[in-house]
Structure 1
Amino acid sequence: MWTVLIVEDEVFVRESVKEIIRWEELGFTVIGESGNGTEALAIITREKPNLVLTDIVMPGLDGIELLKKTREAGLETKFIMLTCMGEFEYVRQAMEYGASNYILKLSMSVNSLRDTLRKVSAELDAAGAELRIPSTEGFVEKDYVSDVPAIGEVGSTNSEGSLPHAISGFQSVLEPVRDLVVTHPEVNKIIGYINAHYDSDITVKSMSRFVMMGENYVSALFKKKTGYTLIHYLHGVRMKKAAHYLRSTDFPVYEIGQKVGFANDNYFIKIFKRWTGCTPSQYRHLP
C-alpha cells in the first residue's frame, strides 16, 4: 500500500476527498489528515508519506510552501494540488517544484480523482519507492497470541502436569508487554489508551479512528514499532490485570473477565488458557 496524507483547511472538502474514494482498491491507504500546512509538514517529516493531497491556499503555510519545504527536506513525496479557479499562478509554481498533478475543487469528481491517483500510483511503481508499507490485504487479527509461549513452556511441569513455576513463568511471558516503550507518537497514544481503557471495547478499527489513520496502516505500524500485533498487546495487558485480580481478590472468574474487557466469560477463559497454559481457576489456586 502507498501511504497518503490529506491536507485541507476546509473540513467538508477534506472529509469528501477521504470518503469518495475506495483508497485500498487503488493501492493507497490514508495515514492521516491535517487542516493546516504547518501541522502537515511535521507529519510529512515524521511519516514520510508517498503522496500528499493538499489544498494550495491555506492560512499560515500554504500548499506551495509545504511542497517547497518537503523538497528542501530531501523528500521525494508525490504531491497532488487542490485548487480553485483563478489560482493557476500557484499551480504553475507547484508544477515547477515537481507536483504530479492538480485538481479543480469545484469540478472535482470521483473519476477525475481516481484517474489522477492511478497516474501517481504508476509513477510510484516506476520509481520503485522504498517507502511502501507491507500490504495487510487478507490480514486478520488473531484473537490470541500464537507466538507467546504458554507457562508450561516458560516454567516447568512435574509428572502430574502441575505448574509449580506458573506465576514466575507468567510474569516472564508478560515482561516484554509490560515494559513496551516506543518513540512513535501515534503508537504511544494507542499504548497509553490500551493501558488506561483495557476494560473497554478496543479494536484495530477503534484505534485507527483514535489516531486518525487507516486500519491497515495502524496494524502494520504497530507491529513494526512494537513487534506485537495490536490485539496481541491488548490481550497481554488484559491477562496481566486478570492475573492480578485472580491472585489478590475473591472476585468470581466471570466478573474478572468483565473487569478486564471480556463480555463473554468462556472467551476470557479460552484466551487466558492460551496465554498461561491453565484456566483462571487453576491459576488462582496455584501454590
Structure 2
Amino acid sequence: MWNLLLLEDEPFVRRSIRQAINWEALGFRVVAEAEDGSEAWEFMQAHQVDVVLSDIMMPIMNGIELIRTAKHNGHEAEFIMLTCVNEFEYARLALQYGAVGYLLKASMDMEELKALLLKIKQSLIKKRDHRTKAPMFNLYQQIWRSIHGIEELEQRENEEGSPPLPAYVRLFVGSANSVSLENEQIIDLFDSNCEDKLLVHRFVNWGIATVFVWSDERCMPTTSVPAELSSTPWQTSDALKEGWVSLLQGIGRTWYELDPSLWAKGGLQVENITWKKESLILTQFEASHWAECEKSLRSLWDYFKEQQLAVVMVKKAADRLDKSFASLSNQAPAGKEVWAAVESHRQALEQLINRVHYYSKHRMKETITDHPEVNKIIEYVNRHYDKELTLKGMAKYVNMGEQYLSGLFKKKTGEQFIQYVQRIRIERACYCLAETDLRVAEICEQVGFVHLNYFLKQFKKWTGFTPSEFRESKKAERKKPLDEGI
C-alpha cells in the first residue's frame, strides 16, 4: 500500500473526498489528514508519505509553498492539487514545481482522480524498483560469493539514503533456460491484487537462475509452483542465505543424479581443488598421454561427486581446465557460457573429454616437431618441469652432443632450450597464482625454481607483473559484477 496524505482546510470537503473512493482497491491508504501546509509538512518529515492530495489555497502555508518546501528538501512525495476556477495561475505554478496534475474542487471528477492515482502508482513502483535494484543486486553478489567460499559475508548497515529491504523474501531456483523462471511467470503465480506489493528480481550465475520475490506482506501464491522449480516459503530477509543454500543443495541432488537419501547434510561443499589434482591432468595433456588424461578427468569427476561439491564449483573447474587445454593447444576455449549451460555432472565430464579429443588433434599438429629426439625432450620437460633441467642432461637423455642439440632445438621449436623451460614454468606459476591459494614461495618450488628471488625476477620479466600483482588482478576479474538478466 502507498501512503496518502489528504490536505484540505474545509472538513466537509475532506470527508467527502475520503468517502468517495475505495482507496485500498487502488493500492493506497489515507494515513493522515491535515488542515494547512505547515501541519502537513510536520507530518511528512516524521512519517512515510508517498502521495499528497492537497488544496492550493489554505491558511498559514498554502499548497504551493508546501510543494516548493517538500521538493527543496528532497522529499519524493507526488502531489495532486485541488483548485478553484479562479486559481489556474496557482495550478500552473504547482505543475512547474512538480505536481502530477490538478482537479477542480467544484466539479471534481472522481474517475479523473482515480486515473491520476493509478498513474502515480505506476511511477512509484518504477522508482521503488530503481532504488532497490542496485543494493539488492550487490547483496545477491555478496551472498553468492559467501556461499561459494569466495569471501566472507559482511554484516552491513543500510547505506545512508538507501531504502530498507522489504520484510520478507521468497526464492525460486532452477535452470536459467527454464521459461517458468521468467519474472512474468513468477508474478503470475500470485494473485493479481498482490502485484503492486511484490518486488521481483532475477539473478543468473553459471547457468543457475534465482528469482527473488520481496514484499512487506506474505502474499501467498494462488497457482502451484511448477515441478521444475525449487522454492522456499516466505522467510525474513536475514534468512536469505540459509534459504538460498537449501535450494542450491536441491539443484546439486539433480546435478549429481543422486538419490535424496544419499545427499550429505550441511552447507554446500566449496573446497578448492588442490593443485596436484589438476596439475597431473595438465601434465598428462602436455605429454600427449590422452588415455591417462581422460582417466584422470574421470577420477577427478568421481571425486567431485564423492565430495558433493557445489555445482558452480564443478562448472568452474571444467571451464578452468578447458581454458588451460585451449591455451596449451593455441586454440579458443569453449567459453564460460558453454559450461554454465551444462545440465548435469555427467554431461560436463563428457563435454570436457570431447574438448580434450578436439584439442589433441591440434596439439599433435602444432607442438610435435618432425624430429623424434626433440619431441622426446619436449615431452620430458612438460612432465618434469619441476625438476632440475639442463641442456647437458637432455643431450645425455637423447644421446646427442650438447652443442648440436642446442642448435637443433632452436631450429625445430623457435626457442632456446632454457627459454622453453622458463616459459613452461612461468605458465604453471600463472595457473597456480590464479587458481590456488598456495603461497608464492610454494609455487616457486612446485614449478621448478630453486631460488625465490630468481623466480620473482623471471616472473616479472615474462608477465610484466610481480606474482602478488598477478594474483590480485585475477581476483579483481572474478569479483566484477555479472549482471546477467537481473
TM range (shorter): 0.3 to 0.5
Normalized against structure 2, the TM-score is what?
0.27
Answer 1 or 2: higher relative contact order, Cα 8 Å, separation at least 6: 1
